[in-house]
Structure 1
Amino acid sequence: MAQVKVTLVHSVAHREPRQRAIIKALGLGRIGSSAILPDNASTRGAIFKVAHLLSVEEVK
């Protein structure tokens, strides 16, 4: 199963509460924190909503 590494590169301060909740649901907290997540439709949808705050890499 493919996985993606998601890293928070911008602050969630002054963002909409919905965007903050998505970041928390992805398992990210502070700038620079990373999480390895399964590459499925629900993860991709969450990443799409806050893509401007994240860096995404594929993990083999």
Structure 2
Amino acid sequence: MLRITYVKSAIGYRQEQRDTLRSLGLRRLHQTVEKPDTPSIRGMVNKVRHLVRVEEIVPEETPARRGRTRTSQKGAEHEAA
């Protein structure tokens, strides 16, 4: 998986590059999306590499959406004490 963050404005760049950002799902500065690591996604990222920051992520790094939320965990710690 790739984590792609939009870090620099596309104002003043070609329409083709702005369209590529939209195709990646990026609409606002500092927005982050996660996309599969495929040749087509890599090609799009390469086209706008001066406007985005890219990190490779491994599936184990993706947070699990199970169990209690952070706020409920804090509450549980205070109850136990």
Normalised by the length of structure 2, the TM-score is: 0.70
Which structure dedicates a bigger proportion of its chain to helix? 2
Please identify the structure whose Cα radius of gyration is greater.
2
Identity %: 36
Higher relative contact order (CA 8 A, sep 6+): 1
Structure 1 position 42, deviation (Å) = 0.1
Post-superposition CA distance 1:7-49 (Å, at most 9, x none): 0000011110000000000000111001100001000000000
Match of 1:27 in 2: 25
Match of 2:73 in 1: none
Return structure 1 stretches of 4+ with deviation > 4 angstroms. none
RMSD: 0.5
Which structure dedicates a bigger proportion of its chain to strand? 1
Normalised by the length of structure 1, the TM-score is: 0.93
Number of positions where the alignment pairs a residue of Structure 1 with one of Structure 2: 58
